[in-house]
């Protein structure tokens, strides 16, 4: 999807301070629109910087002539991305200028954009034609103002009368059910605001009014202007190739609904279906997507993601909102209203072995299996309490279920271990672990956590997976770990923890054979710390800082890429050994994780350096070159790396001038 990063510009001298934070948009399918928006943000900042620089210079000259003291001019800017989902982007930019006087002035501009069409949305575009949206919003603003009338100007000349045709507003995706959601199911927050001094004194800032969508009945149509009519079907292309469906995609309540398997397999994903739970697990380079029928909650590398609509089964296919597909790394959408075609673009990773996705899936599945069991235990401990015979039984069973789990324990609200099992670790009951980073994070957010590697009080490097334990009345208010809502940190009873030995965990997975050899496996934190390596002497080192790696040619740059990108392929060269010739290592990586903590899963294997440097272009061999219809053809492609995808296209024009085409995607063996 669309990503927004920041470009900062900061400097100061004796009479001017400048501190600018300028949004930079990336990932739009329409690169021309993306460039125009980025130019708009940059030019707006440049114009204000130029103007205040000239004013400051003029003031210095006037001060010198008049003999009065200098003052420092200031220009600050910042921005907020209030909505970036469901086909909508809303960015609010603010500039603060101080040129003297009691206070400075702040100017605010909001940009509400449909990234698929490039259209900047006005307030009227939120509603169906003929809707008297102004009157509805005016009434709601006056109702909210009446609750605090002293805050606003009054009277015929200054008091609020009506919103304008170009009324300032922004969209936000942090609303709640109480705010009212759009009948089109789009954005749960519409905020109308006014400039400084427009309807209230300076001290009131920018008066904002949140307008519930429910006030407009069936008149809301946030996405309808740029998409197909509700209930209609549409076609899908991936990298300009049609995607074939046996259940047609369609629009419903403003959302694009698509069969999950057909699109993801066209993207090269490995999709597994678990009928006992009704769950699909799809693995792409850098992302594991988990979706369950009947649930609105999905997982991306073990991190929760709320879909706008629940997944469902239709015609034996799992149907999902397009939003979950767009979470795959590198996917860019584009909508063509003239042809009713949704185009998706995905850049391939040449040389990425298909078999690696099986390892990614197995590790992610096991992490999530532990997580589900710990969620269940948290619910049971809400009823039993954190200590006692029943609580210890739960902990014992939990620890015994996994060979790489050392112990299971409960932790009270003061950060002290209450109960720990098995019996060999009873001595650690009462230990104060409140200073551990993951414990503090759980208490701060009220959400489950998994740590980076740390030294546990038990005395070894470990990973700690923890779930909060709430009072039983609250714990029973949700039915699965995906639909848990954590906003009552002050009601926490404590937490339940699994202490994991990462070396034993990652060593339990079988590696695929590549190019006739057994590759090496490595798991790395994003700070360069090696959590696991097939060569145990590497575990605990840091690729960025350990002198051990200084003679590895190309490794520092490759590691920076590995941290920055969720999946990829690269090479490096270890130092030459006295009894071994120097070899080139191929490095392939992807991402696994839980609750926002990510690790890079890496496999390394030797390749022939000479053949890599002199690699020939892929070659196509067809035997025979001509044949009658119905006779078999032998088609062979050579010169590809193992697992590298290749698309074969056949075209034929018949006697009537009609062009026929077929295509298929293969992966090299």
Q: What percent of the chain has pLDDT over 70?
A: 86
- CA-CA-CA-CA dihedral for 646, 652, 653, 658, to nearest 10: -70
Spatial separation of the C-alpha atoms in residues 644 and 349, rounded to whole Å: 8
Pair 326, 236: CB distance under 8 Å: no
**Beta strands at 270-274 and 279-284: parallel, antiparallel or unpaired:** antiparallel
For residue 485, name the pLDDT band (cuts at 50, 70, 90).
very low
How far is it, in rounded angstroms, from Cα 482 to Cα 73?
51
473 burial (CB, 10 Å; 0-12 / 13-18 / 19+) is exposed
**Mean pLDDT confidence for 601-606:** 94
pLDDT given at position 29: 67
* C-beta separation of 611 from 587 below 8 A: no
pLDDT tens, residue by residue, 627-665:
666 667 778 887 777 767 777 777 776 666 666 767 777
Q: What share of the chain is helix, strand, coil (3-state, %, to 5)?
A: 25, 35, 40
Q: What is the pLDDT of residue 581?
A: 61
Q: What is the DSSP letter of 416?
A: B
Residue 626 predicted with pLDDT over 90: no
Please write the tens of the pLDDT for every residue from 19-35: 999 999 987 766 777 88
- Supply angle C-alpha 401, 406, 409, rounded to 5: 85
Closest by Cα among 578, 540, 572 to 559: 572
The model's pTM: 0.61
Question: 74, 97 in Cβ contact below 8 A?
Answer: yes
Where does the pLDDT of residue 339 fall: very low under 50, low under 70, confident under 90, or very high at 90 and above?
Answer: confident
Look at residue 628 in the predicted model and tell me its pLDDT: 61
Strands annotated E in 141-188:
169-172
Residue 486 DSSP label: -
For the chain, domains (ranges, CATH) are: 3-216 (3.30.565.40), 235-348 (3.30.457.10), 358-505 (3.30.450.20), 511-613 (3.30.450.20), 619-667 (no CATH)
Higher pLDDT, 366 or 339: 366
Confidence category of residue 407, pLDDT binned at 50, 70, 90:
very high
What average pLDDT does the structure give for the chain? Answer: 84
pLDDT digits (tens, 9 = 90+) for 203-239: 889 999 988 776 777 777 654 334 444 456 889 999 9
The answer for residues whose C-beta is within 8 angstroms of residue 182's C-beta and 6 or more apart is 188, 213, 220, 222, 254
Burial of 291 by CB count in 10 Å (0-12 exposed, 13-18 middle, 19+ buried)?
Answer: buried
In 3D, which of 302, 76, 308 has the Cα closest to residue 173? 308
Using CA atoms, how far residue 217 sits from 87, 117, 178, 536, in Å, is 22, 26, 15, 63
Q: How far separated are the first and last CA of the chain, in Å rounded?
A: 32
Closest among 300, 288, 285 to 356, alpha carbons compared:
285
The bridge status of strand 279-284 relative to strand 287-292 is antiparallel
CA distance 390 to 588: 46
What percentage of the chain exceeds 90 in pLDDT?
50
pLDDT at 347 > cutoff 50: yes
Whether 182 has a pLDDT exceeding 60, the answer reads no
Q: How far apart are CA 300 and CA 467, in angstroms?
A: 18
Q: Which two tokens stand for residue 485?
A: 């809502």
So what's the pLDDT on residue 86?
61
pLDDT tens digits along 232-280: 688 999 998 999 999 999 887 667 899 999 999 999 999 999 998 899 9
């Amino acid at each position: 999807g669309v990503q927004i990063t920041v470009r900062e510009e900061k400097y100061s001298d004796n009479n001017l301070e400048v501190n600018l934070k300028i949004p930079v948009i990336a990932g739009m399918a329409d690169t021309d629109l993306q460039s125009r928006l980025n130019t708009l943000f940059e030019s707006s900042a440049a114009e204000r910087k130029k103007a205040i620089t000239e004013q400051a210079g003029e003031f210095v000259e006037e001060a010198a002539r008049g003999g009065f003291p200098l003052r420092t001019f200031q220009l600050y800017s910042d921005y907020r991305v209030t909505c970036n989902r469901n086909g909508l982007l809303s960015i609010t930019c603010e500039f603060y200028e101080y040129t003297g006087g009691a206070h400075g002035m702040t100017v605010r501009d909001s940009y509400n954009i449909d990234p698929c069409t490039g259209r900047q949305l006005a307030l009227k575009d939120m509603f169906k034609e003929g809707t008297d949206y102004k009157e509805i919003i005016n009434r709601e603003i006056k109702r909210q103002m009446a609750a605090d009338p002293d805050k606003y100007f009054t009277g015929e000349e200054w008091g609020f009368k009506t919103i304008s045709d170009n009324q300032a507003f922004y969209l936000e995706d942090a609303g709640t059910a109480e705010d009212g959601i759009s009948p089109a199911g789009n954005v749960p927050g519409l905020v109308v605001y006014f400039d400084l001094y427009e309807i209230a004194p300076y001290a009131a800032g920018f008066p904002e009014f949140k307008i519930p969508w429910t006030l407009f009945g069936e008149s809301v149509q946030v996405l309808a202007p740029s998409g197909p009519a509700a209930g209609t079907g549409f076609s899908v292309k991936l990298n300009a190739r049609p995607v074939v469906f046996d259940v047609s995609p369609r629009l419903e309540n403003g959302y694009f609904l698509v069969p999950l398997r057909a699109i993801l397999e066209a993207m090269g994903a490995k999709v597994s279906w678990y009928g006992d739970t009704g769950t699909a697990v799809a693995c792409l380079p850098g992302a594991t997507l988990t979706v369950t029928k009947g649930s609105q909650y999905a997982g991306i590398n073990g991190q929760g993601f709320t879909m706008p609509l629940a997944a469902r089964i239709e015609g034996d296919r799992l149907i999902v909102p397009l939003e979950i597909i767009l979470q795959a790394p590198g996917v860019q959408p584009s909508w063509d209203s003239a042809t009713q075609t949704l185009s998706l673009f995905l850049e391939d990773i040449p040389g990425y072995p298909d078999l690696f996705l099986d390892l990614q899936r197995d590790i992610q599945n096991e992490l999530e299996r532990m997580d589900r069991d710990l969620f269940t235990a948290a619910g049971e401990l809400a009823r039993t309490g954190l200590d006692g015979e029943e609580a210890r039984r739960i902990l014992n069973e939990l620890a015994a279920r996994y060979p790489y789990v050392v112990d299971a324990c409960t932790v009270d609200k003061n950060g002290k271990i209450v109960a720990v099992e098995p019996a060999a670790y009873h001595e650690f009951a009462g230990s104060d672990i409140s200073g551990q980073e993951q414990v503090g994070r759980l208490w701060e957010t009220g959400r489950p956590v998994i740590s980076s590697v740390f030294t546990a009080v038990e005395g070894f490097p470990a990973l700690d997976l923890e779930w909060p334990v709430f009072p039983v009345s609250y714990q029973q208010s949700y039915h699965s770990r995906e639909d848990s809502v954590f906003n009552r940190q002050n009601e926490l009873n404590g937490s339940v923890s699994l202490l994991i030995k990462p070396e034993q965990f990652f060593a339990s997975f079988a590696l695929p054979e590549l190019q006739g050899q057994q590759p090496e496996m490595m798991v790395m934190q994003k700070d360069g710390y090696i959590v696991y390596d097939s060569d145990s002497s590497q575990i605990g080192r840091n690729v960025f800082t350990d002198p051990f790696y200084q003679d590895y040619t190309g490794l520092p740059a490759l590691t920076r890429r590995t941290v920055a990108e969720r999946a990829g392929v690269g090479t490096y060269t270890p130092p030459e050994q006295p009894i071994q010739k120097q070899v080139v290592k191929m490095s392939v990586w992807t991402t696994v994780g839980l609750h926002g903590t990510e690790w890079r899963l890496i496999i390394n294997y030797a390749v022939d350096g000479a053949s890599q440097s002199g690699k020939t272009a892929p070659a196509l061999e067809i035997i025979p070159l001509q044949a009658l219809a119905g006779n078999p053809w032998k088609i062979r492609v050579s010169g590809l790396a193992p697992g590298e995808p290749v698309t074969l296209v056949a075209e034929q024009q018949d006697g009537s001038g009609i062009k026929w085409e077929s295509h298929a995607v293969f992966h090299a063996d």
